[in-house]
């Protein structure tokens, strides 16, 4: 007998303004710190998904998967708090999307 796998997936779409970045190199260092920090601390999938060539803007994608929607919510809440805690960035917008139709 095969049992059904329950999987819940949600993603954050985070639009950032980096007012202190004065070059693409400075922007990439800040973005890398955010992405690596989120990946290591919260075990989420992360990527810069937009504004690659603009030195004071970035768009990040972060996704979490778990067996319960509550756990996904907890993880993404922690990720949001982590990003909000950065004094060197301004969050333009955050959008949370459920990718499995369950949330």
- Name the residue among 57, 75, 60, 63 with its Cα closest to residue 11: 63
* pLDDT tens-place string over residues 41-94: 999 999 999 999 999 999 999 999 999 999 999 999 999 999 999 999 999 999
* Terminal-residue alpha carbon distance, the chain: 27
How far CA 98 is from CA of 47, 62, 63, in Å, comes to 17, 12, 10
Domain boundaries, the chain: 8-98
Instruction: Assess whether pLDDT exceeds 80 at residue 103.
Output: no
- State the pairing for strand pair 45-50/90-98: unpaired
Please identify, in words, the CATH class of the domain defined by 8-98.
Answer: alpha beta
Residue 2: which pLDDT band, with cuts at 50, 70 and 90?
low
Instruction: Assess whether pLDDT exceeds 70 at residue 1.
Output: no
Distance of CA 26 to the CA centre of its chain: 19
């Amino acid at each position: 007998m095969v049992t059904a796998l329950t999987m819940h997936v949600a993603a954050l779409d985070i639009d950032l303004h980096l007012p202190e970045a004065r070059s693409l190199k400075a922007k990439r260092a800040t973005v890398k710190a955010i992405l690596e920090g989120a990946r290591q601390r919260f075990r989420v999938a992360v990527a810069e998904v937009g504004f690659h060539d603009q030195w004071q803007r970035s768009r990040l994608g972060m996704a979490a998967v778990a067996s319960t929607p509550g756990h996904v919510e907890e993880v993404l809440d922690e990720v949001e708090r982590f990003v909000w805690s950065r004094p060197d960035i301004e969050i333009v917008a955050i959008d949370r999307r459920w990718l499995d139709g369950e949330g």
